[in-house]
Structures are given as structure tokens and as C-alpha cells.
Amino acid sequence: MARVFVYGTLKRGQPNHKVLLDGANGRAAFQGRGRTVEPYPLVIAGEHNIPWLLNLPGQGRRVAGEIYVVDEQMLSFLDEFEGCPDMYQRTPVRVTVLEWEGRQGTPEEMPATDGTLQCFVYSTASYAPEWVRLPHHDSYDSRGEHGLPYNPRENR
């Protein structure tokens, strides 16, 4: 089992959340909400208005998202779904837990005493240089005030 931090279209209420619910892809269980310990640039870019977490720790904002525990099958599915390693790269990130619904079990299943967890996140180090100058967001909603509607995969 692995923890994954999602910040974009995979969150609850967003266009691609359904893939986390589809048992044919593997198992994913919601654990809680969190925010990256370090700031990162979260930008909306490209012709389909995709949210991208640029792998530039220390720049941008502390990004809000959701924490899931996933099995190996789901992790492999997400790697393919996210175009890993070409579009996104699965990298470790430290997340501050804001709300926890996960198991209250062994220390490995719980946030650390400082309220943080290590998770995987799909970020990118391969982006157009001008993306760094796009507005940085601290959270993402496909129908947000940013005015950049996400173009779902099925419409491309």
C-alpha cells in the first residue's frame, strides 16, 4: 500500500475522481485532506487547462489536496493514467494533515507527531518555461474562479 496526495482532477467532485472509485483499477481509500509542507507552483496550463504541480519546491504556494492509500494495482494504473514518467513524475512529498479519516492503527498508518505524512504526488519537471510565470494556486477546482474550464479526456 502507498499514500498518494491528489491536488487536481482526481479529487472528490472533480472530473477524474471516478478512476479512484473504479475497482477494476485497484483499490483507493480516502484518508483525509492535507496541504504540502513546502510551497509548489500549482498552475493551470495547456490547451486542455490541466492542473500541473511544477516540481519546484520552495516556490509557489502550499497546495491543498486529498490523501489516499492505494494498492499496487491502483498505483500502477495512476502511473499510466498520469503519463508517468513523461508528463508527470511520481515523487515523494511531505504533507501536513488538515483532516484525518484514516485508520487509527499502527504508527505507519498514522500521521507523524508533527501532523505530517510522506506521500507520492504526480508533479512535473518537464514543462514550458513560461508556465512558471502563470498564476500560482493553492487549491484547484475544475469549475473555479480562475475561469479556465478543464477539458475532460473524453472530449479531446
User: Catalytic residues, which ones?
Assistant: 82
Q: Which amino acid is at 20?
A: L
* CB-based contact 104:110 (threshold 8 Å): yes
SS (H, E, C) 80-114: HHCCCCCCCEEEEEEEEEEEECCCCCCHHHCCCCC
Residues 6+ apart with CB under 8 A from 45: 52, 127, 128, 131, 134
Dmax over CA atoms of the chain, in Å, equals: 45
- Rounded to whole angstroms, how far apart are CA atoms 119 and 91? 8
CB atoms within 10 A of CB 59: 12
